[in-house]
């Protein structure tokens, strides 16, 4: 599996002394460790019997309350209790949804590029995976429609569109408001499910932006959008807590699948996260996270402008942890990575595995989440040195 | 799914005022809540950056160390690091193993009765499920061999034997030492994998017993036994921490499957459990757990002898949380359950869903884990009243 090769390369890249643009995890500096310690002590002192026992497969009810409130704040009001499932991070949500929604041979549409963890889930399920071009304002609707028609014309089952609308992993691209509505119309017209994966939506850099980030799910009257999110980027990923909002019959199926998968998630984690929300720790903490990543992103963008040779392009994210860089098409980011690691001690993730159609060998993901601003500038200079030494 | 029906019935049975022999969870009284609070504070004060961040898919290295030590104490010495995977409870171990070991149509052999959570995993994978008779000393080897030959004779793929050797859920039966060796010979002869699920092995009632409970895995030279266990019964299930010991190539496959499943488990849970082991909390706590369940089991066995009418049989567990009761064959435990709940306010779990061959409608599982000794005696009297009102 390519997914594993990526992870191994990421481990190699995390050696001491290497400036890492490959590490995709949120920065430990953003975790409110002290507040979590306080909350955890409270949970274990007051609710230890429940926190240490098996619990509901779909999650702790207090955390479901928190998710309903959080969704309302994101422009997704009126979510009902039976429309929510708590999962072991959003990765488990993807795995469970894949299992209940997709049969072998069903077609799933992905942005080019898309999230490796989702690609891996649907590949394991033997789905047919079809890539759709992405522009600066998100997935290209015409290309999507053309692909759907092609699959249907061939007698295939066009089943699911998987997409990350906000500050996408890996590209950093955000879907425009107009395209959000258009996308739902397409899903309606061709009777597709839409899996809307939103791990990064809260990590926006411009405070006027949230209105543009309203979930596609908020326009969904027919129950065809399945919204996924996580506390990994807004609290701490080690607590492994994500969630799904979907029509009640989908949540019922997910319940059955999850029972056989793990009986229930970590009750301690779920109660800690619920209490962090109840005490306002997450809410209070978010502005700081936004500023933290914004500064890093700006440092990377500035360094790219200052140092990159002509012929190299990159995205300009309005939030999140990543940006996407494209070399001239004749260059192979996989071949250059070894040189970057050995000569320049700087790492990135190669772009090809993010493409379900095998393209993207000249692309790469740069994460600005891990390094400080000085190292970001230094790392970009090093990358630029390697790229300049391979002219067109 | 029947599995879900069982769980719903279990919820119904947990109403206030009902004496519950259906609740299969360990008693909250056995959780060392105060010690866990202390350990958690230490972990979050000293290792918060790691405990709150993503971690290794196969688990925290300190917990892998603990599992290697624990296995050695159970008669499974020399386990190597690359032979261990930490999972989200043993249920996730079953789910992942099912996915990497079994293709649709492969045959999996189960004891009659067997654990519903395992049956559910293999049913979802569209395995062919074959039941094998169980005697007081465990699975009947002759019946197993006959079934394997039958499947092979039909051109089927006999792939996996799934079994719980110690104080089995649901029957309370323990596999004899002689049969442990014999079972491995059969697996060798017919080239089957053996999934040895051991959640209850530490919960023995007779301190001279451990020698008889040595894992089948300890005799395994060919790497065909996959050993599963969990901290759920010896620490706390809400911390969702189980493990697998298997040949390194199986663990490698499990790593890939788990990456797509959840990226990693709860790092906080894993570090808490590792620290509990390191501080000796689990070890110190085990004798008390054994005495705790032994007293409850004795209370139930005494009450059964005192009150049950002729024609009713039950197992006499030497450990664990459950015993198994068989009514005269013409009675249906499902039909009697409603009467038990409504008239006598006592619950159990019906036996049929534990049978992969559809038998067992006259059987039931009685858990002695939840109720105190007085309620156990009272509950058994109530059951006996119902059973007496339905003579042969």
**Are B52 and A28 an interchain contact pair (Cβ–Cβ within 8 Å)?**
yes
Q: Is A322 left (phi over 0), alpha (psi -120 to 50) or beta?
A: beta
Q: Which two tokens stand for residue A257?
A: 């699948």
DSSP track, B317-368: -SBSSEEEEE--TT--HHHHHHHHHHHH-EE-EESGGG-TTS--TTEEEEE-
> Which candidate in A238, A243, A265, A272 is best for mutational testing of the B interface (most B CBs within 10 A)?
A238
Q: What is the pLDDT of residues B110-130, one digit of tens each?
A: 999 999 999 999 999 999 999
Q: Report the distance separating Cα A63 and Cα A56, nearest Å.
A: 11
In whole angstroms, how large is the CA radius of gyration of chain A?
21
> B254 φ, ψ to 5°?
-65, -40
Give the tens place of pLDDT for each residue, B204-259. Answer: 999 988 899 999 999 999 999 999 999 999 999 999 999 999 999 999 999 999 99
Percent of chain A residues past pLDDT 90, beyond the cut: 91
B251 Cβ contact partners less than 8 Å away, ≥ 6 residues apart: B58, B82, B83, B84, B85, B244
Distances (CA, A) of A177 to A139, A180, B136: 12, 5, 67
What backbone torsions phi and psi does residue A202 show, to the nearest 5 degrees?
-80, -15
* B33 → closest Cβ in A36, A44, A256: A44
Q: Do B45 and A31 touch (CB under 8 A)?
A: no
Q: Which residue has the higher pLDDT, B5 or B364?
A: B364
Q: How far is B363 from chain A (nearest CA, A)?
A: 23
Q: Looking at residue B11, what is its pLDDT? A: 67
Contact A267 B240 (CB under 8 A): yes
C-alpha dihedral sign at B120, B122, B128, B132: negative
* pLDDT value of residue A392: 63
Q: Is the pLDDT of residue A9 over 90?
A: no
Residue of chain B whose alpha carbon sits nearest to that of A49? B28
> Which residue reads 């015993």 in tokens?
B323
- Please give the pLDDT value at position B338: 83
Residue range B8-62, pLDDT digits in tens: 666 667 778 899 999 889 999 999 999 999 999 999 999 999 999 999 999 999 9
User: Are B240 and A257 an interchain contact pair (Cβ–Cβ within 8 Å)?
Assistant: no
pTM: 0.95
Query: What pLDDT, on a 0 to 100 scale, did the predictor assign at position A1?
Result: 42
CB contact under 8 A, A256 and B4: yes
pLDDT at B1 over 50: no
Rounded to a whole number of angstroms, the distance from the CA of B232 to the nearest CA of chain A is 9
Rounded-to-integer distance, Cα A353 and Cα A1, Å = 10
Chain B interface mutation, best of A2, A27, A36, A52, highest count of B Cβ atoms under 10 Å: A52
Q: What DSSP string runs through B52-107?
A: TS---TT--HHHHHHHHHHHHHTT-TT--GGGEEEESHHHHHHHHHHHHH--TT-E
Shortest alpha-carbon distance between residue A298 and chain B (Å): 24
Are B167 and B200 within 8 A, CB to CB?
Answer: yes
The mean pLDDT of A122-140, rounded to a whole number, is 97
**CA-CA distance, A305 to A40, in Å (whole number)?**
45
Torsion-angle region of residue A377: left (phi > 0), alpha (psi -120 to 50) or beta?
alpha
Q: Do the beta carbons of residue A276 and residue A35 sit within 8 Å?
A: yes
Decide: helix, strand or coil at residue A352: helix
- pLDDT tens string A306-327: 999 999 999 999 999 999 999 9
Q: CB A259 to CB B36 under 8 A? A: no
Are A124 and B53 in contact (CB < 8 Å)? no
B261 contacts in A (CB within 8 Å)? 91-92, 95, 261
Compute the distance between CA of residue A368 and CA of residue A172 in angstroms, rounded to an integer: 11
- Joined tokens for residue A180: 């959000």
Q: Check pLDDT > 60 for residue B319.
A: yes
Q: Among partner residues A52, A54, A260, which is closest to B124 by beta-carbon distance? A: A260
Strand B158-163 versus strand B193-197 pairing type: parallel
Chain B residues with CB inside 8 Å of A52's CB?
28, 31, 33, 36, 236-239
Q: Do A121 and B49 touch (CB under 8 A)?
A: no
* pLDDT tens sequence across A236-279: 999 999 999 999 999 999 999 999 999 999 999 999 999 999 99
CB atoms within 10 A of CB A208: 7
**Number of other residues whose CB lies within 10 A of the CB of residue A223:** 14
> Is the separation of the CB atoms in B220 and B189 below 8 Å?
no
- Taking each helix axis from N to C end, the angle separating A2-13 and A116-124, rounded to the nearest 10 degrees, works out to 150
Nearest CA in chain A to B7: A259
Query: Concatenated DSSP letters for B174-198?
Result: ---HHHHHHHHHHHHHHT-EEEEE-
pLDDT at B383 over 60: yes
Average confidence (pLDDT) over B135-152: 98
Contacts of A260 in chain B (CB under 8 A): 3, 91, 95, 117, 120-121, 124
Question: In a 10 Å sphere around its CB, with 0-12 CB exposed, 13-18 middle and 19+ buried, how is residue B295 labelled?
Answer: middle
Residues of chain B neighbouring A236 (CB-CB closer than 8 A): 52-53
- B28 to A262, A315, B15, B23: CA distances (angstroms): 20, 53, 17, 12
**Tens-place pLDDT, residues A170-227:** 999 999 999 999 999 999 999 999 999 999 999 999 998 889 999 999 999 999 999 9
Q: Which chain A residues touch B269 with a CB distance below 8 Å?
A: 266, 268-269
Range of weakest confidence among A32-41, A290-299, A308-317, A383-392:
A383-392
Radius of gyration of chain B (CA): 21
Rounded CA-CA distance A188/A201 in Å is: 24
Give residue for tokens 């295939």.
A156
Of the candidates B33, B50, B260, which has its C-beta nearest A52's C-beta? Answer: B33
d(CA B359, CA B132): 12
Confidence of residue B3 (pLDDT cuts 50, 70, 90): low
Q: Angle A287-A293-A299 (CA atoms, 0-180°, nearest 5)?
A: 135
Contacts of B51 in chain A (CB under 8 A): 238
CB atoms within 10 A of CB B142: 10
| Yes or no, beta carbons of B3 and A256 under 8 Å apart | yes
Task: Report the side by side order of strands in the sheet with A84-87.
Answer: A84-87, A242-245, A225-230, A193-197, A158-163, A107-112, A128-135, A138-139
DSSP B277: H
Using a pLDDT cut of 70, give the percent of chain B over it: 96
pLDDT digits (tens, 9 = 90+) for B184-215: 999 999 999 999 999 999 999 999 888 999 99
Res. B4 pLDDT band, cuts 50 70 90? low
Minimum CA–CA partner of B2 in chain A: A256
Q: Does B324 or B11 have the greater pLDDT score?
A: B324
According to the model, what pLDDT value does residue B24 have? 87
- CA of A272: which chain B residue's CA is closest? B268
| pLDDT for position A16 | 80
Cα–Cα distance for residue pair A197/A201, rounded to 1 Å:
10
Q: Enumerate the residues of chain B whose CB falls inside 8 A of the CB of residue A3.
A: 256, 259-260
CB-defined contacts A:B, below 8 A: 172
- Segment A353-364 shows an average pLDDT of 97
Which residues of chain B lie closer than 8 angstroms to A266, CB-CB? 88, 238-240, 265-266, 268-269
Token couple for A218: 């908020």
**What mean pLDDT is predicted for residues A105-118?**
98
Q: Choose among A260, A265, A268: nearest Cβ to B120.
A: A260
Q: Beta-carbon neighbour count of residue A86 at 10 Å?
A: 29
Nearest to A228 by CA among A118, A93, A120, A138: A93
CA distance B118 to A70: 36
Work out the number of other CB atoms within 10 angstroms of the CB of residue B322.
24
A36: nearest CB among B44, B53, B121:
B44
Q: Which of B37, B240, B257, B269 to mutate to test the interface with A (most CBs of A within 10 A)?
A: B240
């Amino acid at each position: 599996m390519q997914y594993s090769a990526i992870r191994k390369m990421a481990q190699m890249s995390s050696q001491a002394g290497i400036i890492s643009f490959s590490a995709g995890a949120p920065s430990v500096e953003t975790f409110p460790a002290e507040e979590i310690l306080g909350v955890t002590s409270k949970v274990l002192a007051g609710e230890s019997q429940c926190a240490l026992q098996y619990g509901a497969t779909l999650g702790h009810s207090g955390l479901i309350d928190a998710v309903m409130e959080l969704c309302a704040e994101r422009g997704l009001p009126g979510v009902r209790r039976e429309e929510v499932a708590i999962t072991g991070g959003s990765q488990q949500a993807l795995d469970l949804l894949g299992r209940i929604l997709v049969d072998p041979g069903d077609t799933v549409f992905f942005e080019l590029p898309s999230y490796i963890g989702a690609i891996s889930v649907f590949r394991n399920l033997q789905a047919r995976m079809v890539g759709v071009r992405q522009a600066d304002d998100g997935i290209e609707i015409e290309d999507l429609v053309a692909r759907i028609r092609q699959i249907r014309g061939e007698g295939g089952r066009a089943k699911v569109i998987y997409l990350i609308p906000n500050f996408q992993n890996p590209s950093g691209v955000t879907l425009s408001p107009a395209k959000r509505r258009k996308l739902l119309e397409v899903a309606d017209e061709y009777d597709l499910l839409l899996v809307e994966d939103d791990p990064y939506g809260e990590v926006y850099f411009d405070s006027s932006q949230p209105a543009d980030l309203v979930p596609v799910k908020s326009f969904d009257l027919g129950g065809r959008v399945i919204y996924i999110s996580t506390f990994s980027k807004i609290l701490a990923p080690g607590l492994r807590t994500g969630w799904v909002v979907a029509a009640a019959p989908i949540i019922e199926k997910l319940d059955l699948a999850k029972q056989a998968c793990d009986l229930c998630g970590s009750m301690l984690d779920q109660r800690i996260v619920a209490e962090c929300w109840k005490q306002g720790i997450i809410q209070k903490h978010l502005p700081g996270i936004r500023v933290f990543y914004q500064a890093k992103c700006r440092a990377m963008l500035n360094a790219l402008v200052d140092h990159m040779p002509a012929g190299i392009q990159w995205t300009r994210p309005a939030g999140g942890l990543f940006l996407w860089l494209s070399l001239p098409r004749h260059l192979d980011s996989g071949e250059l990575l070894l040189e970057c690691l050995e000569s320049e001690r700087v790492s990135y993730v190669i772009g090809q595995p993010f493409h379900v159609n095998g393209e993207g060998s000249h692309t790469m993901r740069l994460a600005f989440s891990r390094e400080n601003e000085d190292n970001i500038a230094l790392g970009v200079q090093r990358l630029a040195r390697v790229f300049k030494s391979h002219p067109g």
